[in-house]
């Protein structure tokens, strides 16, 4: 298949051609960071929305491959669907928030606001960005449901694949809900600006990459779930440090869901490594060459044309998600899927294996520079916190 390379360098640590929402309004491009990473790049050549973020176009399987997915259905039922929690056993946002039907509601809200009062602005910027990424769930669900693996023709198909995608979305939906309600009650942020950002982001969509490749899609989602697990776990730790145990519990509870989801996607991707190691390693390499970008990378608030880049810098600066985390995640998956021991590969597969196997060391050597860059990045105003600079 055609390999289309856009005009950018792969040299810097987790930098990726990301297309801010503004690129849909203007021909200018910029390179910003990947999942919460920290390096700002140089201007790119022009193109259309979606183009810059897809530098490798290589469908690994025909658009539909029903037999493979069909043959895996029993395994999905027995090994994957058990990783969804029944609704009756699931937590709900209400469990962590003041109860509006109780007499003590106003006092509970005041206590929440009192606890939030002294938490620094940079923490709130990160929490808002995390929440907005969660709130753009409709885009992610659409992408899964229209992929050939999680395909959901009617919207209520009873295949285990479609059941997983809907169950996963239903669990994820609580994350944005909980953070949104918490932030609303905290009184620390500009809700209208946040709501605008969410609307822009859902309107812009997101770009997972080739959905015809089950390996690509599930490797991406494994990576992304582990990244969100790490970032929510770190916001929990910071909340503890700031003395807000209840907020720590909120973030920690969301992190635990992400971990469970990571387990599911990692198992599915692992299955593709077993079934077709050649296809899987080429997909992994394509994803990494393209860089793994956060699904919220098109975020825009109507003001800041580099909002995701600025948000990523703050994440890095306060230690919620850093260049080191990116490399550590990569290292984890290289080990989990036994990348270095895959055998029987084609020459293209072996080349991909060498690329992926050597990437951890290469990125490790650049990691400190990337973190230093994020630390040195100047403070910028965020509309989410009334234009204050962090
Ligand atoms: Fe989530
Ligand atoms: Fe998730």
Q: What is the pLDDT along the chain (390 residues), one digit of tens a residue?
A: 222 222 222 223 332 222 333 333 222 222 223 333 333 333 222 232 333 343 444 444 444 567 889 999 999 999 999 999 999 999 999 999 999 999 999 999 999 999 999 999 999 999 999 999 999 999 999 989 989 899 999 999 999 999 999 999 999 999 999 999 999 999 999 999 999 999 999 999 987 776 678 999 999 999 999 999 999 999 999 999 999 999 999 999 999 999 999 999 999 999 999 999 999 999 999 999 988 877 889 999 999 999 999 999 999 999 999 999 999 999 999 999 999 999 999 999 999 999 999 999 999 999 888 888 888 899 999 999 999 999
Task: Say whether 228 is catalytic.
Answer: yes
Query: 175, 232, 297, 310: which is the annotated catalytic residue?
Result: 175
In the three-class reduction of DSSP (H, G, I as helix; E, B as strand; rest coil), residue 115 is classed as helix
Distance 95 CA to ligand 1 centre (A): 17
Residue whose C-alpha is closest to residue 32's, from 56, 47, 14: 14
For residue 136, report the distance from its CA to the centre of ligand 1, in Å.
Answer: 10
Query: Is-catalytic flag, 172?
Result: yes
* 91 carries an active-site annotation: yes
- Between the alpha carbon of residue 10 and those of residues 31, 288, 289, the distances in Å are 11, 10, 7
Of all ligands present, the nearest one to the C-alpha of 224 is 2
Catalytic residue flag (residue 153): no
* DSSP H helices in 136-211: 137-145, 160-186, 191-204
Q: How far is the CA of 76 from the centre of ligand 2 (A)?
A: 19
Active site residue 261: yes
Known catalytic membership, residue 258: yes
User: Is 225 marked active-site?
Assistant: yes
Query: For residue 26, how far is its CA from the centre of ligand 2 (angstroms)?
Result: 31
Distance (Å) from CA 257 to ligand 1 centroid: 7
> 98 Cβ partners below 8 Å, 6+ apart?
104, 105, 108, 109, 112, 185
Tally Cβ neighbours within 10 Å of residue 27. Answer: 9
Clarify whether 368 is annotated catalytic. no
Dihedral sign for Cα atoms in the order 204, 207, 212, 215? negative
**Per the residue annotation, which of 134, 171, 279, 305 is the catalytic one?**
134
190 flagged as catalytic: no
């Amino acid at each position: 298949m055609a390999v289309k390379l856009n005009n950018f360098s792969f040299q810097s640590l987790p930098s990726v051609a990301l297309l801010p929402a503004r690129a849909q309004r203007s021909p200018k491009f910029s390179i910003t960071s990947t999942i919460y990473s920290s390096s700002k790049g140089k201007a790119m050549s022009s193109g259309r929305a979606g183009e810059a973020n897809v530098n490798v176009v290589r469908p690994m399987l025909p658009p539909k491959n029903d037999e493979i997915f069909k043959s895996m259905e029993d395994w999905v039922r027995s090994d994957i669907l058990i990783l969804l929690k029944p609704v009756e056993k699931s937590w709900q946002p209400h469990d962590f928030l003041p109860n509006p039907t109780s007499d003590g509601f106003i006092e509970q809200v005041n206590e929440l606001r009192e606890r939030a009062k002294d938490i620094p602005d940079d923490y709130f910027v990160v929490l808002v960005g995390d929440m907005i990424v969660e709130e753009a769930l409709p885009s992610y669900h659409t992408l899964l449901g229209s992929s050939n693996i999680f395909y959901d023709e009617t919207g209520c198909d009873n295949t285990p694949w479609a059941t997983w995608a809907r169950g996963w979305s239903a669990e994820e939906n609580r994350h944005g809900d909980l953070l949104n309600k918490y932030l609303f009650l905290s009184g620390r942020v500009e809700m209208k600006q946040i709501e605008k950002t969410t609307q822009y982001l859902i309107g812009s969509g997101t770009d997972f990459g080739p959905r015809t490749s089950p390996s690509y899609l599930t490797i991406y989602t494994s990576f992304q779930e582990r990244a969100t697990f790490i970032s929510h776990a770190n916001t929990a730790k910071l909340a503890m440090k700031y003395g807000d145990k209840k907020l720590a519990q909120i973030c920690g509870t969301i992190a635990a869901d992400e971990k469970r989801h990571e387990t599911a996607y990692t198992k599915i991707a692992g299955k593709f490594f077993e079934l077709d190691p050649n296809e899987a390693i080429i997909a992994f390499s394509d994803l990494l060459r393209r860089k793994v970008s956060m699904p919220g990378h098109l975020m825009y608030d109507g003001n800041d044309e580099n909002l995701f880049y600025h948000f990523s810098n703050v994440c890095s600066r306060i230690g919620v998600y850093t260049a080191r985390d990116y490399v550590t995640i990569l290292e984890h998956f290289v080990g989990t899927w036994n990348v270095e021991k895959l055998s029987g590969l084609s020459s293209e597969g072996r080349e991909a294996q060498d690329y992926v196997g050597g990437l951890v060391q290469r990125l490790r050597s650049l990691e400190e520079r990337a973190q230093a860059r994020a630390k040195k990045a100047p403070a910028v105003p965020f509309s989410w916190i009334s234009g204050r600079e962090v």
